[in-house]
Amino acid sequence: MKKSLSLILSAAMAFSMYSSVALGAGKSSADFSDLANLDAAAKVKFDAMISAGIFDGVGEGNFGLKDKMNRAQFAKAAALVFGLPVDSSLTTSSFGDVRADDPANGYALPYIEALKKANLTDGYGANTYNPAGEVTKEQLAAFLIRGLNKDAEGKAAQGANDATVSGWAQGYASLAKQLKLMDNGSDGTFGGTAAADRELLVTSSYAAKQQYVPGSGSASKPVQPSGGNVISTGDLPTYNLNANVKAQAKGVLQEKTANGWRFGAVVKLSNTSGSTTRVPDHELRVKASDGSVYTLKASTDNVKSIEPQSTVELTFMTEIDKTSDFNLTNLLWVDVDDEVYPKKETVLADAPIENFTWHGTDAVIQDSALLGSWGTGFTVPGETSPLKYTATNLTKQFSGQSPTYIVQVKVENPSNYAATVPNFTLSGKAKDRSYVGNRVEQSAVVLNPGEQKYINFAVTTEPDTQLTAFYVLSTSNFLKQGATAPVQFYTGRIGFTVPASGQNQANLPAYTLGSPIAIDTLSKAVNPQMQVALQDIEWFENDGRDYKTAVAKIKFTNNSGNVIPVPQLGAEIVSDSGVSYDGVQSTSSVNDVLPGMGSVQMFAFTVPQSEKTNQFTLRLLEQQGKQTQPAGQSSQSQAQAAQGQAAQGQAAQGQAGQSAAAQAQPSAAQTSLYKTPIAQVYVTINTTSSVDNVFSFYPYEMRMDSFNVSNYAAKNGVTNSYGYTYKLEMGIDIKSTDAVLADPSNPKLLFQLEGPDGKRLGSKTFALTGDNRLMSGNQSIMFDSTSDTLEAPVSIKVYELVTTPYGDARHLLTTLKD
């Protein structure tokens, strides 16, 4: 269901109390026999909504309590409430499925057109409104939340992980229950995908009406995919091959090879009849700008027939030994009659393709209408699919010595039916070459109606390559006669530029330690019942090293009634100049989070001493899957050239030629996990965490009430030399500051004895949990000095100590001076 309509529908209900229109004026629940048994509280709600004219009966004396309200009824209510001009003389709709002669919903035609004219709806799908369509419970929840101008809260709300609620609606359902608009059913579930009946529509609308604050918001334009405008090539031109079969050119390739040119074509054939029909016997040819005409060979796995009311794709390819430059201008479907002499040729269709042909690695999109800016929505050319796409994030990682760009793309399904992401990829365009990427998700990605998901593309380039754009490529396969492996080729039409410097970094407000971090609602890496917060991030020193370590302590709080595993996330900090430092999660024995409690996980970021800033963007990362990496570099031209060599080799040498194609495919020699951001906050890394005699090191706090340092000398009877021992006596109070599970080995306390010149004389390390932990009360610590002289004055430095993959890192809490 289009989300643009949802605001209107919710407003139609939530704003109804302020409408001057009274469709049901003078009526009440007493006028309907099926409302006779309502309790007193329910009767008040129904009387208010009926007398306001928002709801009426479905028949004489019958309210239709358990009936479903459709979109046509909603349209009428919305138009009347908003006082839109309604042209009751209209008999023709701009939507193909809305007709004045429809006995059930024809009455709503002028109201539907009034909504569209006011830009309050753009329908349900392509040229459709779906007037008889039902409204599900989760859609109703979203309607009401948006009508109350709480859309942002609904998106950010923690869902209940209810299997009966679609992923996109989890937050809306949770907030609707919290606001007492709706409740779970008798089975304990929300029942989000079930149709809402008129009883629920009335009671939930009434509840929303009571909470609505006039002037708190206004109606919105229909929701568009992220980025506003959508890059699209529009519908493909259609050509009739015969009475029942229509043809479309989906993509045409013309690219240079070592010996000449390769041509490839993908065409779609549609059977408009009610029975299975054969693919028409024809030749597919391309015409060049110099007048030459070339016949393409059909892939041996092309289908031979088309099911009724169905569409198939056919692929064609050929190569020629011609080195001169020219362009392809026309794609010809030609019927050849060999039964007569001379043979008779009839052109069935002639498609101009000069501005349509893709030139492989040399392709450059010049048309600004086809090359959008970063964040502009797009559709995949040539695909009959309702899905819309938006590039949302770009990260750079390294596969060995070569950079890999991870492009995160959000997919939206605005239709009323499930849709599968078609087979396409992205290529990275540099000044003089292109690099074909791979989709990280290897299995099919299916989106239910109204659902959103992310897909990711990995584009590996050569070092120092500067990408300027990403092109959207359709992937096709051509199987040559006698070959067992197909040749893969790509065609494209549209693309989008890389983000401008800083555009990929959000302008974030300063983060307050301990406050919840908003996790991307489309991510599955963190359970909706798990709250995430950064409790502390501080600089730690690495003794004798030329780098420093930032240690972040992240708390995961389990708000559910069940044990939930600790989320497996990555992390990085990014400076304002764009330099990123990867975080390494410290090994922890805490693997699960108990109900109502929290777990602390540490991430260590190694940073050069030359980095002077304390402000960074902290990003939490989700692992997107394991993707095989090429052992070497493979650009689009290299891959397709190798495939062409394989195709030629197969013709001359049987299967031996396949090795060239195999070399162009990714090798399993190296694998890596790609990561994409699911949350980010702007943080300041602290340098101190003490106030007077109270020292904080999450999740602990130590108060030192008193201390004294003394020394002892002991003479060795054999050597007549003296040994010196130092004693620290202190009164301390150590406590945990939060109900969390922390790893016993991290953090610890390090007490380091130093002489007047800063030389280390001795040290002791203490755990904070377990039998041998440092406990509250009066404690004594003995230091055996390594010096053969009595040092005075001495000092004792107290450090928080954490273990990282690069060794121990320490953070100074205080210095105790003799």
Instruction: Report whether 394 contacts 405 (CB < 8 A).
Output: yes
The Cα 724–Cα 719 span in angstroms is: 14
pLDDT band at 442 (very low <50, low <70, confident <90, very high): confident
Residue 137 pLDDT exceeds 70 = yes
Lowest mean pLDDT, pick from 132-146, 478-492, 687-701: 132-146
Determine what percent of the chain is predicted with pLDDT higher than 70. Answer: 84
Cα 372 from chain centroid (whole Å): 20
Determine what percent of the chain is predicted with pLDDT higher than 90. Answer: 50
Greater model confidence, 16 or 472: 472
Greater model confidence, 88 or 411: 411
The Cα 587–Cα 570 span in angstroms is: 13
Non-local CB neighbours of 365 within 8 Å, separated by 6+ positions: 371, 469, 471, 492, 493, 494, 495
Class of the domain covering 365-497: mainly beta
Lowest mean pLDDT, pick from 10-24, 452-466, 751-765: 10-24
Q: Tell me which DSSP letter residue 192 carries.
A: T
Q: Tens digit of pLDDT for each residue in 622-650? A: 987 654 444 344 444 444 444 444 444 44
Non-local CB neighbours of 485 within 8 Å, separated by 6+ positions: 646, 658, 661
Q: What is the number of other CB atoms lying within 10 angstroms of the CB of residue 474?
A: 22
What single string gives the DSSP state of each residue in 233-281?
Answer: --SPP-EESSSSEEEEEEEEEEEE-SSSEEEEEEEEEEE-SSS-EEPPP
Q: Tell me which DSSP letter residue 70 carries.
A: B
φ and ψ of 237, to 5 deg: -60, 145
690-817 and 530-626+676-684 share a CATH fold: yes
CA dihedral 138, 143, 146, 150 (to 10 degrees): -40
pLDDT at position 108 is 86
Q: Where are the beta strands (DSSP E) in 52-203?
A: none
- Looking at residue 118, its amino acid is A
Instruction: Report whether 687 contacts 539 (CB < 8 A).
Output: yes
CATH number (1.10.10, 2.60.40, 2.60.120, 1.20.1080) of 690-817 reads 2.60.40
Residue 656 pLDDT exceeds 90 = no
Greater model confidence, 282 or 52: 282
- Domain locations in the chain? 3-69+134-211, 235-358, 365-497, 530-626+676-684, 690-817
Would you call 216 helix, strand, or coil by DSSP?
Answer: coil
Residue 704 pLDDT exceeds 70 = yes
Closest Cα partner for 686 from 577, 802, 799, 812? 812
CATH number (3.30.230.70, 2.40.10.120, 2.60.40.1240, 3.40.640.10) of 530-626+676-684 reads 2.60.40.1240
The Cα 474–Cα 251 span in angstroms is: 8
* 173-182 CB contacts, 8 Å cutoff, 24+ apart: 173/137, 173/138, 173/141, 175/141, 175/145, 175/150, 176/141, 176/144, 176/145, 176/204, 179/145, 179/148, 179/150, 179/207, 179/211, 180/207, 181/141, 181/144, 181/145, 181/207, 181/208, 182/137, 182/140, 182/141
Greater model confidence, 594 or 123: 594
CA distances from 353 to 237, 254, 268, 327, 687 (A): 11, 11, 15, 9, 64
Closest Cα partner for 623 from 550, 558, 561, 569? 569
**Beta-bridge mates of residue 626:** 673
- Positive or negative torsion for Cα 379, 380, 384, 390: negative
- Most distant CA pair in the chain: distance in Å? 125
pLDDT at position 665 is 37
User: Whose structure tokens read 């015409």?
Assistant: 287
**Beta-bridge mates of residue 604:** 551, 584
CA distances from 409 to 371, 388, 496 (A): 16, 10, 12
Average pLDDT for 747-752: 94
What single string gives the DSSP state of each residue in 127-145?
Answer: TB--TT-B-BHHHHHHHHH
The Cα 796–Cα 754 span in angstroms is: 6
Lowest mean pLDDT, pick from 102-116, 528-542, 701-715, 738-752: 102-116
The Cα 544–Cα 561 span in angstroms is: 47
Chain mean pLDDT for the chain = 83
pLDDT at position 79 is 63
Residue 516 pLDDT exceeds 90 = yes
Would you say the pTM of this structure is higher than 0.85?
no
Lowest mean pLDDT, pick from 207-221, 348-362, 630-644: 630-644
Cα 501 from chain centroid (whole Å): 21
Would you call 477 helix, strand, or coil by DSSP?
Answer: strand
Note the residue count of the chain.
818
Report residue 783 as tokens: 């230091």
Burial of 767 per CB tally in 10 Å (0-12, 13-18, 19+): middle
Q: Report the CATH architecture of 235-358.
A: Sandwich (2.60)
Instruction: Report whether 133 contacts 1 (CB < 8 A).
Output: yes
Q: What is the number of other CB atoms lying within 10 angstroms of the CB of residue 289?
A: 12
Greater model confidence, 660 or 619: 619
pLDDT band at 147 (very low <50, low <70, confident <90, very high): low
Burial of 353 per CB tally in 10 Å (0-12, 13-18, 19+): buried
Average pLDDT for 65-90: 72
Helix, strand, coil percentages (3-state) for the chain, rounded to 5, are 15, 40, 45
Q: What is the number of other CB atoms lying within 10 angstroms of the CB of residue 458?
A: 24
- Looking at residue 277, its amino acid is T
What single string gives the DSSP state of each residue in 673-716?
Answer: EEEEEEEEEEEE-BS--EETTEEEETTEEEEEEEEEEEEEEEE-
pLDDT at position 325 is 93
Give yes or no for a cis peptide into 237 (omega within 30° of 0). Answer: no
Q: Tens digit of pLDDT for each residue in 385-403? A: 899 999 999 998 887 889 9
pLDDT at position 203 is 86
pLDDT band at 234 (very low <50, low <70, confident <90, very high): confident
- Positive or negative torsion for Cα 583, 586, 587, 589: negative
